[in-house]
Amino acid sequence: MILVTGATGFVGRALLDDLAARGLAFRAVSRRPLDGFLDVGEFTAATNWREALAGIDTVIHLAARTHVMHETESDPLAAYRALNVEATVNLAEQAVLAGVRRFVFLSSIKVNGEETPPGRPFTEDMPPAPEDAYGQTKLEAEAALFALGRRSGMEITVIRPPLVYGPGVGANFERLMRLALKGWPLPFGRTRNARSLIYVGNLTDLLCRAATQENAANAVFLAADDEAPSTGALVTRIARAAGKPAPKLLPVPLFAMRLAAGLIGRGALARRLFGSLVVDAGKAKRVLGWAPPFSLDEGLRRTVEVRSHM
């Protein structure tokens, strides 16, 4: 049986659907009482996982403090570390005691860094270079898990995805969809960047393989869709997926947009919109025989289809 944490979240709910469709037995946990979920309370370094781990062979750990655009914590690193590292290690240590065979950890491409130069996509063998507290604590959790695995014999598998999109997505991708579907002219005519992303159904397919295939043990895998579109190409394809005319892309110079964004304190957003971040998922394809079951256009179609009915 598979234990899934973070099961009420965007990726978690999609994963539960995927596991059910495959006929794989699972137990989903939550922080509060919900029908169909085991309530374990808040995820902390002191959470008691004994009941949740009874009879469990594999853990897929999705629960995390994710990247926050507008931070309000006085000590963000401590807040990230409490859940992403300390609570994760607590769960993993109890998993060892419960006889769990494999621990699958959903990490982030932010462990590798924030930007890739032309022709040099991120790969698993590159030195980690996180630039924020989220990426740093994901890296710390990876290191702690692999160390625990070496001491205990529990198998560790790490998946690092880029931005995940799909039905019900929020945050930056949802805002970009709103822009693409309004039909307003957008200043992306000169963008020549490339941004990897991954449809949630492609990610859950890989997570299922990571949980069940023997050769996934004790390894890190990067994950991404097969295409890495520019920001301009992405908004065009979002509009077309919704059956709407593509927005006009204005040829605004990139330096002007980066400068303007910096002046209003949105430099990090400009970096994501105009910089490149390309992920090489070749290792997962070679080792696990993985191929993203959904194309970019199919993933976008499913995403905007659900949004239009909300």
Report the pLDDT value the prediction gives residue 184, as an integer from 0 to 100: 87
Q: Is 227 exposed, middle or buried (0-12, 13-18, 19+ CB in 10 A)?
A: middle
Report the pLDDT value the prediction gives residue 255, as an integer from 0 to 100: 66
**Residue 92, domain member (yes or no):** yes
**Residue 13, domain member (yes or no):** yes
Q: Identify the bridge partners of residue 103 per DSSP, sorted by sequence position.
A: 59, 156
Q: Which CATH number covers residue 137?
A: 3.40.50.720
For residues 96-114, give the mean pLDDT.
97
Report the pLDDT value the prediction gives residue 270, as an integer from 0 to 100: 62
For residues 142-167, give the mean pLDDT.
97
**Residue 32, domain member (yes or no):** yes
Please, what is the average pLDDT of the chain? 91
Report the pLDDT value the prediction gives residue 252, as an integer from 0 to 100: 78
**Residue 264, domain member (yes or no):** no
Q: Tell me the residue range of the domain where 126 lies.
A: 2-168+197-225+279-292
Q: Please count the structural domains in the chain.
A: 1
Residue 70 has pLDDT above 70, yes or no: no
Q: What is the pLDDT of residues 296-308, one digit of tens each?
A: 999 999 999 865 5
**Residue 85, domain member (yes or no):** yes
Please choose, from the candidates 129, 132, 276, 119, the residue with its C-alpha nearest in 3D space to the C-alpha of residue 197.
276
What dihedral do alpha carbons 179, 193, 237, 279 form, nearest 10°? Answer: -110
Cβ contact 60:3 at 8 Å: yes
Residue 71 has pLDDT above 70, yes or no: no
Residue 187 has pLDDT above 80, yes or no: yes
Radius of gyration of the chain from its Cα atoms, rounded to whole angstroms: 20
> Which residue type, as a one-letter code, is found at position 277?
L
**Residue 307, domain member (yes or no):** no
**Residue 48, domain member (yes or no):** yes
**Residue 301, domain member (yes or no):** no
Q: What is the pLDDT of residues 218-271, one digit of tens each?
A: 999 999 999 999 999 999 999 999 999 988 998 877 666 666 656 555 656 666
The rounded distance, in Å, linking the Cα atoms of 120 and 128 is 14
pTM for the structure as a whole: 0.92
Give the residue numbers marked as catalytic: 134
